[in-house]
Every structure is written in structure tokens, then in C-alpha cells.
Amino acid sequence: MPLQFTYEANPGRIVFAPGSVESVRDEIVRLGAGRALILCTPNQRDLAERVALLLGDLGAGIFDGAVMHVPVETIAACREQADAAAADCAVAIGGGSTTGLAKALTLETGLPIIAIPTTYAGSEMTPIWGITKDRRKVTGRHRAVLPRCVIYDPELLLSLPPAITGPSGLNAIAHAVEALYAPDINPITALMAEEAIRAMAQGLPRAVVAPEDIAARAATLYGAWLGGAVLGAVGMGLHHKICHTLGGMCDLPHAEMHAIMLPYVAAFNAGAAPHALARVATALGGSEAGDAARLLHALRRETCPMQSLAALGMARADIRPAAEAAAASSYPNPRAASADEIEQLIAAAYDGGEPQ
């Protein structure tokens, strides 16, 4: 236990229950708002229409144009619709792409957000926003983009296909693993991170083989909430730096890339952060730091269809430039990593074998 720490709780209200999407109208009233624009991706339009029915006269329409990486053109179209409808709040129902669009809208307009997550990405718990302009993603932190209320309804996850469920769950675990060796860790975030890994690892294999198992969906959504909370609270390390770089340079799918990369970075950091990695291992059912990477790899094999960056379509020629770009930027990590070492880590993930 450190002698000294700062803990800043992110504001917000959490409503967690199967069927809690039904409470969306009450939550808008509680906010003091009365004209909600509903945001979603094109393929979650049906769900948004269900929310519109629940909202009745408090609904101000549906914007169904959310896409990955929040392009400025999408933000402009969404803002135009929000202005035309005189919206006074946004309801974001969907994964990280939809929540990301709501955050970008709020950055421009100040509209309060109610988030209803349907994946394990965890964006709803972080003050981190991202916007893509001319194929370049810019990110920042601002507490104003934090949703005012998050409705976690595990029933909405029942439709999440196994191929998205596994990687999305490991993406949430990646937040928690890096939180455990963050330099700004505190006892509360550490508890949340360990619990995130335990809950996610307990529920994820079942959620993949039996997507409609509500207990598995509740355990994993609870883990995702805590994973998002620690992502928003402390600085992320080498794993997130590599994934951010690969995402930008190689346009690889977000959750899958995290799922594949994580065991190799855990192995790399185990010697430098033995206490943190031992906590990861314990939460996964192991006992010592050296178990963490092996258990993360086993969980990935059990739950994810894609097992290597090569399978995601990355070109081998991109490994070295990505390693150099990641090495050139600063990030907190328990062990310094040279461009050569990062190249080895990406190469290992490219092949997808056992972490060494």
C-alpha cells in the first residue's frame, strides 16, 4: 500500500440491471432534459428505434451514422441534426464508436450524454475523446465528455456475436492489466482493476459459447465497466502505445489487435512489475507473475477467432516502422523498451505463438 496517493472519482451515475434500458426516459427526466437525440451505428438502428419508443415525446430523432474512429464529417452531420432538432441531450446506444461520436458532439455543443454500452470497450467511463481528420486520429482528455449517466443492461449484450465478444472482453482486460502497473495507481484503482480481470475472465468463455447466458453477460459487462473506469483513471503503458500506433498506421481492428498484443507485453513487463503481474495472474486463476502472460494467451485462444496480427491482415513490412514510431513517443511503462524490443514484441504478435 503506497503511503501517498490521489484518487479522483469520475463523476456519473451507473444503473446496472438486466432490462435497465427501460429506465432511459426516467434518466433523461432526472437530468432535467427533454429532447434526446439518439446515436447509433447503421446496424444498431433497430435498437435505437426501441429506445425512441421508450422515450416517446422526449425523443428528438435518431442519428444512425456512427462509424469507427469518429471522422469529422460524421460529427458535422450529427451536430447538424442535433441543432435542427433542438436536442438538449444525447443518448448513445452502442459500442465505443457510438460513445466516441457522442463525446465529440459534447465537446462541440456541451450536450450531456446518457450512454448505453453494448460492447465491453469501456469508453463510457473515460474522459478520453478521439476525432479523425484527414486520416489522422487526434485524442485528448476532457472531463466534460464523461457521460452523466451510464445504463449497463446485460440483456443488450446477448446479441453481441462471439467473434466480437471475445476480443472486446480482452480489450477490457488490457485496460486493467496496464492499470495495475501504472505509475499513478492507487489502492482503489488497483482493486477495480483486479476485479475487472477476475469478472471478465470468469464470464468471457461462457459468453462466447453461450452468448445468451445472462449471468455470463452480467459478469463480463461488470468487468468491462471496471476496466473502463481504470482506463479513465490512470495512465496506460507500452501495450496501449503499441496498439495506438498499430491502429493508426495499419488500420487494424481495435479490440482484436488488443486481444492479440496483450500476452506479449505482459511477458515483457513481468520481470519489471512482478507485483502487478502477480495480481493479474491471481485474478486469472494463477499464482505468480510468470503465469500472467501464459493465462492471457490461453484466454485469447479460448475466446477469440483471430490469433495473430498476420491474420488481421497486417503486412510484415509494417512491423519495423510501427516499432520505431511507438519507441519515439513517450508513455509510462515499468520497463523501458527500445525500438528493437518493440519490434520483437510486434513480431511475436504477428506470428501469434506462445509468449516467451
* Number of neighbours of residue 316 by Cβ within 10 angstroms: 12
Q: Which residue is nearest to ligand NAD (CB)?
A: 96
DSSP 132: E
Q: Give min distance, CB of 128 to ligand NAD, in A.
A: 4
What is the phi/psi pair of residue 270, to 5°?
A: -60, -40
Q: Using the minimum distance from each CB to ligand NAD, give the nearer residue, 58 or 179.
A: 179
- Looking only at residues 224 through 253 of this chain, which bind ligand NAD when binding is defined by CB under 6 A? 231
**Number of residues lying near ligand NAD (CB under 6 A):** 28
- Looking only at residues 101 through 120 of this chain, which bind ligand NAD when binding is defined by CB under 6 A? 118-119
CA distance 114 to 93: 9
In what helix (H) or strand (E) does residue 197 lie, and over which residues does it extend? Answer: helix 187-209
- Identify the residue among 4, 43, 287, 356 touching ligand NAD (CB under 6 A): 43
- Identify the residue among 59, 65, 71, 95 touching ligand NAD (CB under 6 A): 95
From the list 26, 12, 16, the residue with the least C-alpha distance to 145 is 12
Q: Using the minimum distance from each CB to ligand NAD, give the nearer residue, 58 or 152.
A: 152
Q: Are 138 and 1 in contact (CB under 8 A)?
A: no
Q: Using the minimum distance from each CB to ligand NAD, give the nearer residue, 211 or 274.
A: 211
Measured in whole angstroms, the distance separating CA 251 from the mean position of its chain's CA atoms is 17
CA distance 229 to 212: 25
CA distance 127 to 229: 10
- Looking only at residues 168 through 187 of this chain, which bind ligand NAD when binding is defined by CB under 6 A? 168
Handedness of CA 297, 299, 115, 124 (dihedral sign): negative
Q: Give min distance, CB of 234 to ligand NAD, in A.
A: 13
Q: Over the Cα atoms of the chain, what is R_g?
A: 20
Site membership for ligand NAD, residue 165 (CB under 6 A): no
Residue 348: C-alpha distances to residues 224, 248, 301, 343, 356 (Å) = 27, 20, 15, 9, 9
Site membership for ligand NAD, residue 100 (CB under 6 A): yes
Site membership for ligand NAD, residue 204 (CB under 6 A): no
AA letter at 31: L
User: Mask: binding to ligand NAD, 269-308, rule CB under 6 A, as x and -?
Assistant: ----------------------------------------
User: Mask: binding to ligand NAD, 53-92, rule CB under 6 A, as x and -?
Assistant: ---------------xx-----------------------
Residues at the interface with ligand NAD (CB under 6 A)? 41, 43-44, 68-69, 94-98, 100, 118-119, 121-123, 126, 128, 130, 156-157, 159-160, 164, 168, 231, 254-255
